[in-house]
Chains A and B, each alone.
Chain A
Amino acid sequence: MSTASNTARANILGRLKAAPGRPGPDLPPWTPPTYADKLARFRQMAEANHAEIHDVTASNWPQRLATLLNNRGLRNLMIAPGTPRGDALVQAAAQGVPLPPLVPYDQSVEALKDALVHQVDAGLTGTRGAIAETGTLILWPTAQEPRLLSLLPPLHIAVLEEDTLHDTLAAAVRDQGWAAAGMPTNALLISGPSKTSDIEQTLAYGVHGPKELIILLVKKGE
């Protein structure tokens, strides 16, 4: 911090501290909604957000994904090696599941920038749960699963386990202990594909991020 910034800091904090004190109000009670059927609510809201949901199982999802991607004629799929989902796909491909060529996000963005910006058709990530109220995915990018994987490719595929649904963001923050555990470099809430309504309030998808969001919903115990 420069000297100018230090002076500014002292002056600003000085003025704020010299101001007349005011009591901070107690927070009035607020009860965020809960849902008897979280999954139904999630489905309804995620679809309203223009996400596409496919029910899969822990064993058949690579095959289902291969079908989805081939029907769309995609040239490739970027994955995060070292994550359970990424590694499962590599293994599935080795066993003959007809997936398009898998591109690993295994170097820094500087090395992969051209591929990421221009060539990759789809990116696959896991999720850290979801929010029923708003149909929202929680993503927690890591060293293995980088941030841009869910942003630059025109299609984002997210794998969501059915039993990781929370009623609301408030519940997720509390139940997953976000504040206590420490926040990652970047935590993300994603609700549908990239969109804009800046031109005459007309919805258009894929303005900067993905045009499409596919959620593979892994059903429990199947």
Chain B
Amino acid sequence: MAADGGHHPEHAPRFAERAPDALNNPQLRRNFRRAMDGLMAKRAAQFPDPAYWAELRARGAAVKARALAKLPDLLERLETNLTANGVQVHWAETTEEANAIVLGILQQAGARTVIKGKSMVSEEMHLNAHLERHGITAVESDLGEYIIQLAGETPSHIVMPCIHKNKAEISDLFAEKIPDQPRTDDVDELTAAARRVLRERFANADAGISGVNFAVAETGTLVLIENEGNGRLSTTLPPLHIAVTGIEKVVEFLDDVPPLLALLTRSATGQPITTYVNMISGPRKAGEKDGPTAVHLVLLDAGRSRVYQDVELADTLRCIRCAACMNHCPVYTRVGGHTYNAIYPGPIGKILTPQLQGLDAAGDQPHASTLCNACAEVCPVKIPIPDLLVRLRREAVRPTETPATHLPVVKDGGAERSWKESLVWAGWRLVYTRPLLYRMVTRALAWGGNWVPASAPLMRDWTKARARPRFKPRTLHDLARERGYLNEVPK
């Protein structure tokens, strides 16, 4: 929603240009509406007692806030303890560096095929494409991720990546892509087909790649949650396991995990717990019969340490990726995940993407919101998303500086600044601070406003989706005065 003067480089179409396609796609809207209604109802059923929800949530938010307050310290402790456990720790400032590290490890091991558990950070890295370019096949094994990989698409939701597709679409896709697979409406049969194909992929994979939900500094433990078992298989069956994660996933103690886990699974899918909670603290030890013989962890920054510089914006890093904010967002539920054209869609994406990619590339995202506060009400770690949206809108036109570097706090701060918009506000201030001028202008609008042509610049945008406002001949002030109100006190 940048004013006309905003300069946008030639990147992909922005949110407002993409939204109409989704809004005019009844099938897509039905798929999302149904899925989101289901997820909202299931989540609500998991938090029947408001007092307990408040208590648990306060604890979860504090656990993450405390971990962030000690972030550099905890990362060092995590590294020390993982290393002592035999896990090799790598650091990457950018997604390119992270890709190079993963590729290097795979090449050194002579790996040709990789099986992947669900990982949003690997999506952020575009890891599959990178490996593909170097002759390594990466197969997604989470059913939802597998489906969208077959379709050549990207996730539209961070927990349920193929939520935009219905059964019939998936049945067609399987029939087309899986040899000897007939069309079927039976979800069990579709699931069985995926199991059959992926079992072989698991058995033959040279390496497994996964994300991480919580990394425990105290014990050097990687906690992964899932329902399918593909995460466990990816991290147990192949001889090599590489985990990739953002630096913000570290928590201090093992005792910090239970409250966060309780919040995460209930908020995400309305489950009291996922089928599997997989806690990995090292590679196969001497005498053990299975598990990878080498485990690596890649710690990715990719803009997070910059987000960390601003104490208010750093709240973004508390996120545990439960997706409740998108499930409850009146915008997301209508346009779906692809409209955001970003790895992380919905409310969390609207605050995270502009901070990671910069306000030039994604400065429109914080505007794709009504600030209704639904996201902040359900966020299990109490991230004040609407406040941060407003803050980012401000950073896009009037950036604050980091004292040490004199750089804008947010990458490309000021990118949405435009002389036209400044002019409008300057004019507004002029009129509103001068009572005489104000009366003259309002009178003039009351008399002549209805003759402003619908094609006039601001009117045109406004009336695209709304009825044209009609000016009454008399202002509210006039009417109030007539009724005897003067400065809010009746005469």
What's the nearest-Cβ distance from chain A to residue B259, in Å? 6
Interface-lining segment among B230-238, B338-346, B412-420: B230-238
Cβ–Cβ contact B289 & A146, under 8 A: yes
Bound complex: CA of A3 vs CA of B55, how far in Å?
Answer: 45
Q: Contact partner of B258 among A2, A32, A202, CB < 8 A?
A: A32
- The reply on B410 being an interface residue by CB < 8 A is no
- The reply on B91 being an interface residue by CB < 8 A is yes
What's the nearest-Cβ distance from chain A to residue B20, in Å? 26
Bound complex: CA of A197 vs CA of B66, how far in Å?
Answer: 34
Bound complex: CA of A33 vs CA of B166, how far in Å?
Answer: 38
- The reply on A58 being an interface residue by CB < 8 A is no
Chain B residues with Cβ under 8 A from A204's Cβ?
187-188, 190-191
Interface-lining segment among A22-30, A65-73, A88-96, A120-128: A22-30
- The reply on B390 being an interface residue by CB < 8 A is no
Interface centre among A45, A107, A204 (most CB of B within 10 A): A204
Q: For residues 282 through 308 of chain B, which have their beta carbon under 8 Å from a beta carbon of chain A? A: 282-285, 287-291, 299, 301, 305-306, 308
Q: Contact partner of B72 among A16, A136, A194, A198, CB < 8 A?
A: A16
- The reply on B203 being an interface residue by CB < 8 A is yes
- The reply on A31 being an interface residue by CB < 8 A is yes
Cβ–Cβ contact B273 & A193, under 8 A: no
Interface centre among A8, A20, A114 (most CB of B within 10 A): A8
Cβ–Cβ contact B280 & A185, under 8 A: yes
Q: Contact partner of A202 among B71, B187, B254, B301, CB < 8 A?
A: B187
- The reply on B456 being an interface residue by CB < 8 A is no
Interface centre among A20, A31, A147, A195 (most CB of B within 10 A): A147
Q: Contact partner of B290 among A9, A27, A30, A109, CB < 8 A?
A: A109
Bound complex: CA of A24 vs CA of B170, how far in Å?
Answer: 47
Chain A residues with Cβ under 8 A from B254's Cβ?
173, 178-179, 183
Chain A residues with Cβ under 8 A from B34's Cβ?
200-201
Cβ–Cβ contact A25 & B66, under 8 A: yes
Q: For residues 103 through 142 of chain A, which have their beta carbon under 8 Å from a beta carbon of chain B? A: 105-110, 113-114, 117, 133-134, 136, 141-142
Cβ–Cβ contact B69 & A22, under 8 A: yes
Chain B residues with Cβ under 8 A from A189's Cβ?
273, 276-277, 279
A9, closest chain B residue (CB): B91
What's the nearest-Cβ distance from chain A to residue B62, in Å? 5
What's the nearest-Cβ distance from chain B to residue A138, in Å? 10
Bound complex: CA of A174 vs CA of B254, how far in Å?
Answer: 9
Bound complex: CA of A71 vs CA of B279, how far in Å?
Answer: 35
Q: Scoring A residues 15 to 49 as 1 if CB is less than 8 Å from chain B, else 0, what string do you get?
A: 11111111111111111100000000000010001
Chain B residues with Cβ under 8 A from A187's Cβ?
221, 279, 281
A13, closest chain B residue (CB): B72
Cβ–Cβ contact A188 & B276, under 8 A: yes
B235, closest chain A residue (CB): A186
What's the nearest-Cβ distance from chain A to residue B223, in Å? 9
Cβ–Cβ contact B284 & A185, under 8 A: yes
- The reply on A84 being an interface residue by CB < 8 A is no
- The reply on B389 being an interface residue by CB < 8 A is no
- The reply on A83 being an interface residue by CB < 8 A is no
Q: For residues 79 through 102 of chain B, which have their beta carbon under 8 Å from a beta carbon of chain A? A: 88-93, 97, 100-101
Q: Scoring A residues 140 to 158 as 1 if CB is less than 8 Å from chain B, else 0, what string do you get?
A: 0111001110011000000
Cβ–Cβ contact A1 & B275, under 8 A: no
Bound complex: CA of A117 vs CA of B233, how far in Å?
Answer: 11
What's the nearest-Cβ distance from chain A to residue B212, in Å? 14
- The reply on B202 being an interface residue by CB < 8 A is yes
Chain B residues with Cβ under 8 A from A105's Cβ?
289
A18-B275 contact in complex given A28-B59, A170-B255, C-beta closer than 8 Å = no
What's the nearest-Cβ distance from chain B to residue A172, in Å? 9
Please, could you name 25 A-B residue pairs with CB atoms under 8 Å apart, sorted by A? A2-B101, A5-B90, A9-B91, A12-B305, A18-B404, A19-B305, A20-B309, A20-B311, A25-B69, A117-B203, A143-B289, A169-B258, A169-B262, A170-B259, A179-B253, A185-B281, A194-B227, A194-B275, A197-B227, A199-B147, A199-B191, A200-B35, A201-B39, A208-B202, A209-B229
Binding site for B on A (CB under 8 A): 1-2, 4-6, 8-9, 11-13, 15-32, 45, 49, 105-110, 113-114, 117, 133-134, 136, 141-143, 146-148, 151-152, 168-170, 173-174, 178-179, 182-202, 204, 206-210
Q: Which 3 A-B pairs have the closest CB atoms?
A: A209-B229, A24-B69, A198-B144
Extra pairs beyond A28-B55, A113-B203 (16, CB < 8 Å): A5-B97, A15-B308, A16-B308, A23-B69, A30-B55, A32-B258, A151-B232, A151-B236, A183-B281, A186-B278, A191-B276, A195-B227, A195-B228, A196-B228, A198-B144, A199-B187
